[in-house]
Structure 1
Amino acid sequence: MLTKRIIPCLDIKDGRTVKGVNFEGLRDAGDPVELAQRYTSEGADELVFLDITATKEKRRTLVALVRDIAAHINIPFTVGGGIKTVAEIEEILKAGADKVSLNSAIVRDPGLITRSADAFGSQAIVAAVDAKRAGDHWEVFVKGGSQPTGLNAVEWIEKTEQLGAGEILLTSMDRDGTKSGFDLDLLRTVDEKVTIPVIASGGAGTIQHCCDAVSLGKADAVLAASIFHFREIEISELKQKMADEGIPVRLMNH
């Protein structure tokens, strides 16, 4: 059985790590390279690095920062934000990222998933989906959560797998930054439809929330930001609790 992963997320704006609530009201959370190093030493399994204003401002992800982070850590990391072409994906991967996260661009051009998976392997392509409850289903939003698409999120996630995505980064916009727990309904619904790993994002507030995302929501990984940035939860404690609950995790060797 594959171990479940703990993934701190660094939202980057103007070269700094920031954190907001429901995609709004950003505050500074520190230097991304320092945070990346800290998380590596604390036992994070992977990192996700999102240039959160890249798509809105239509500028390219900070390749230099990717290179800098890659030089300082030895765990896999994913980079997203404003990546629109196979050439840009290649540049990010060459700079040291292990995977790229694609969101707005693949809604606009679903074929980008297949072209990039063919070029770099499905394992390098993460389909990021920002989903918000809309009556009896969830709707996909793009452009940093600012624009509704009319797409049914669960159907869209199924399609991304068929097109070649190797992993889903699933954010509940309703829960993002609220610390009220992950959207377990959403996670379970998606788990029944896809075979590729699903990373749960949006809502982590306690160690129990993270355990529930995996045991009840069937997520393969748990992604969180502020609870790690501001040390509300220590990764080592979270992993120990997961291990105690019988969830397979990679524990640090002391």
Structure 2
Amino acid sequence: MLSKRIIPCLDVREGKTTKGIKFKNNVDIGDPVEMARYYYEAGADEIVFYDITASSEKRNIMIDVVRRVAETIFIPFSVGGGIRNLEDMRKVLLAGAEKISVNSSAVKNPEIISKGAQAFGKQCIVLGMDVKFVGKSESIPSGYEIVINGGRTHMGIDALEWAIRAEELGAGEICLNSIDADGTCEGYELNLTSLISENVSIPVIASGGAGKPEHLFDVLTKGKADAALIASMVHYGTYTISEIKSNLDKRGVKVRTGW
């Protein structure tokens, strides 16, 4: 059995790590380079970095910040935000990232997934999915809709159908973010996570809602996720990564315990 991964997420806006609730009312909380180094030393399995306004502002990702983070950590590093084509992907990889996350651009142009997988390998391509519960309908049979541009634009695309299609196109992993749970610290969206996890064969990272170690236990077992993204619970010092991993280890969840 593979170890479950615990992955701090750095949402970055104007060069600063920021945190909001349900994609709104963001406040700046620190320097992403310093925070990435701290989490690396604290035992994180990976780091995820999102330039959260690059797509909505129609600009390129802050490659200088990506490079500075990559220089300070020695664990897998996934980067997303404002990546529109193969050249953008290449720049991010050359800056030191191991994985590229595509979200809004992939919805608008699904071919970017297959082209990226062909050019750099499936293991490099992460599909970021921002999802909101809207209720079941003929066009959204799962009840979960894809929303892009940092939660601003509803696309009328069913989340489950999109996840399955993205895997077929060549995505090597899915980072599944529930907008409804984001920043609430009330627990992951277990129904959504298990729905996607059970219907794709690639790893699924659960995102949105982590507030205490029990939430990670639930999403990694009941939600069948392969990894859990965390933000508020470590950004504000409520828990350390070692405390989270120790709790999971004691409850029988296999995690890397090299801290």
Q: Which TM class, normalised by the smaller chain length?
A: over 0.9
Equivalent residue, structure 1, for 2:207? 201
Q: Which amino acid aligns with 2:154?
A: P
TM-score with structure 1 setting the length: 0.98
Equivalent residue, structure 1, for 2:65? 65
User: Aligned-pair RMSD on alpha carbons?
Assistant: 0.7
Q: Any conservation in 2 of the 1:236–1:252 contact (CA below 8 Å)?
A: no
Q: Which amino acid aligns with 1:220?
A: D
Whether 2:240 is the aligned partner of 1:238: answer: no
SS of match in other structure, 1:83: coil
Matches within 5 A, 1:1-254: 1-136=1-136, 137-253=143-259
Report % sequence identity.
48
**Mind listing any 5+ residue stretches in structure 1 that lack a counterpart?**
none
TM-score with structure 2 setting the length: 0.96
SS of match in other structure, 2:41: helix
SS of match in other structure, 2:64: helix
SS of match in other structure, 1:72: coil
Q: Any conservation in 2 of the 1:138–1:152 contact (CA below 8 Å)?
A: yes
Q: Any conservation in 1 of the 2:16–2:31 contact (CA below 8 Å)?
A: yes
Q: How many residues align?
A: 253
- Provide the rounded CA distance (Å) in 1 between the counterparts of 2:169 and 2:37: 34
Deviations along 1:66-104, one digit per CA (max 9) or x if unpaired, are 111111110111000010001100000011001011001
Deviations along 1:14-72, one digit per CA (max 9) or x if unpaired, are 11000000101011110101000000010000000000010111111111111111111
Deviations along 1:200-242, one digit per CA (max 9) or x if unpaired, are 0011111100111101100000001111111112110110111
Runs of 4+ in 1 over 3 A off after TM superposition: none
Q: Which amino acid aligns with 1:4?
A: K
Q: Any conservation in 2 of the 1:9–1:225 contact (CA below 8 Å)?
A: yes
SS of match in other structure, 1:79: strand
Q: Which amino acid aligns with 1:231?
A: G
- Provide the rounded CA distance (Å) in 1 between the counterparts of 2:44 and 2:76: 10
- Provide the rounded CA distance (Å) in 1 between the counterparts of 2:243 and 2:221: 17
Q: Any conservation in 1 of the 2:185–2:232 contact (CA below 8 Å)?
A: no
SS of match in other structure, 1:93: helix
Q: Which amino acid aligns with 2:205?
A: I
- Provide the rounded CA distance (Å) in 2 between the counterparts of 1:107 and 1:98: 22
Shift of 1:252: 2.1
- Provide the rounded CA distance (Å) in 2 between the counterparts of 1:197 and 1:46: 14
Deviations along 1:122-173, one digit per CA (max 9) or x if unpaired, are 0000000001111131000000011000000011001100000000000001
- Provide the rounded CA distance (Å) in 2 between the counterparts of 1:147 and 1:93: 28
Q: Which amino acid aligns with 1:72?
A: T
- Provide the rounded CA distance (Å) in 2 between the counterparts of 1:9 and 1:227: 11
- Provide the rounded CA distance (Å) in 1 between the counterparts of 2:182 and 2:160: 18
